[in-house]
Each structure stands twice: as structure tokens, then as C-alpha cells.
Amino acid sequence: MRPVIVAANWKMHSTPGDAAELATTIAARTREPDVVRVICPPYVCLAAVAAAMAGEDVAVGAQNVHHELAGPYTGEVSAPMLVGLATWVIVGHSERRRDASETDELIGRKLGRAADAGLRPILCVGEHLDERDGGRAEAVVGHQLRIALRALEPVALLAAGLVVAYEPVWAIGTGRNAQGSDAAAMADAVRETLVAIGWGADAATVPVLYGGSVTSANIGEFLAEPAIDGALVGGASQKPDEMAGIVARAGVTARARLAEAAAS
């Protein structure tokens, strides 16, 4: 059975002075033993959050990683540098694609570095509004996956615990909302693409998260879909009340799936 995961992407918010307290508050408000919880603060807050989460069942993730192990890359952070500070990492977020012009090929190199370092990667994929309205949403996401994964061995990414996060870029901060059925159809398309590129039955074990303006008010619609295994939370991820509601709903889904698995 795939795990139910809630990952908090704090983006460029918080400082080392307040991150530990915020993480501690969120951890205390979201204690759901059947939900995998991950907090991804800015690089400068990783040590503070990791120390604060030492007694909690909450993983710490980085928001990005460089595609090289070392070198003349001012301001960048490599996978070996993250070891000991984080156990997860977000790769290919739509904001990185937009602001840093990250290509699918580059994102694939980052995935490889993350897996080699023992970091669990969350690979973000998603289409823009014109691509969805043009009927090309699934083709666009399939292409992103094919290029990012083509140089990587499925066994290595499976061992690393690859997670895919579907980010419909057109539904992030635009006022236009994705439906649970949209996300479920894309999750199915993600796994179908994995099968097509040689992952076989293992494709069904890959968790797919929803990452389009997730809130406590809309998370239920997405978690009601069996193909969706949790959320990558952005704007709501620094709000303890919102995170409490999101993780509580994720806990309901996780327990229902566990009961169904036990019954079968």
C-alpha cells in the first residue's frame, strides 16, 4: 500500500530564528501516526528545523539540490551537503522551472544526485493553462517524466522512494481551481507513463501527491481519489491551523486505506 504523505514547502519564508518554533508547533498539531509528514524549510533553516524535529516523527526536506556534486557554483547546495540536514528533497518545482529556467534534463540530473545521496526525491510535474486548454495536459506531463527519468535506472529511484507531485500550474494562485477528478486522471497518467518507460508493476507503488494551492478546505476532494496519496502544500504550509486540518484529513484517508487493505 502506498503511504499517505503531506509535505510542507515553506518556500522563501521563515528565518533560523523562528523556524524551529514554527516547526515544533506544526509537528504538535499534526500528530497522525499513519501520515508521513515532511517539512521543507529554506536552506538556512534546515539545521534549526532538523534539531527541533529530532524527537518528532517528522522528516525534513530541502527545497532544491544542485545537479553537480561540487564545483564553482556560487550560492548552490549539492546533495552531499544536505546529508545530515535533510532526508527528502523537492526537485523540479514549477517555480524553479519558471524562475531558474530548469529543464527536464537538468531536473533528471538532480534526481540522480538526490538518489545517490540517499535523499528521497519529490519530483514535481505539471502543465500551464494553455497546455490544459489545448488538450495537451497529459502529454506535457508525460514528456516531463520521460525526459527527467530517461537516464536513470528505475531500481535506483524506487530504492530512493521516488514521489511525484502533480502541480497544475494553472491552478496555483490564479483563482481557477483544479478538481479532484483532474488530479486523479493525471495521477493515472503519471503511472501509465512510468509503465510505458519500463517501470512495469512497480509504477503502481509510486505515490502521487497533489500540489495546486492545497488548503484544509479543499484537501478532502483530492484525498477522496484513490489515485492521490497526499499533498505538497505551499501557501498553507506555514499556518498551523491549516496544516492541522490537512493532516487530520490525510489521517482519515490513511486509516481507511489501512482498513481496506486489512480486510482484503
- Give buried/exposed letters for 49-68 (b at 16+ CB in 10 A, else e): bbebbeebebbbbbbbbbbe
Question: In angstroms, rounded to a whole number, what is the distance separating the alpha carbons of residues 177 and 40?
Answer: 24
The answer to whether 167 is a known catalytic residue is yes
Question: In angstroms, rounded to a whole number, what is the distance separating the alpha carbons of residues 233 and 229?
Answer: 13
Question: In angstroms, rounded to a whole number, what is the distance separating the alpha carbons of residues 114 and 152?
Answer: 12
The answer to whether 67 is a known catalytic residue is no
Q: Catalytic one among 32, 93, 127, 242?
A: 93
H helix runs in the chain, sequence order: 19-29, 46-52, 79-82, 94-99, 104-116, 129-133, 137-149, 154-160, 180-194, 219-223, 240-263
| Cell matching residue 248 | 487530520
Backbone angles phi and psi of 98, in degrees to 5 = -75, -50
Cβ atoms 86, 65 nearer than 8 A: no
| Cell matching residue 122 | 519529490
Question: In angstroms, rounded to a whole number, what is the distance separating the alpha carbons of residues 248 and 264?
Answer: 25
Q: Catalytic one among 32, 95, 102, 167?
A: 167
Question: Which residues are part of the catalytic machinery?
Answer: 93, 167
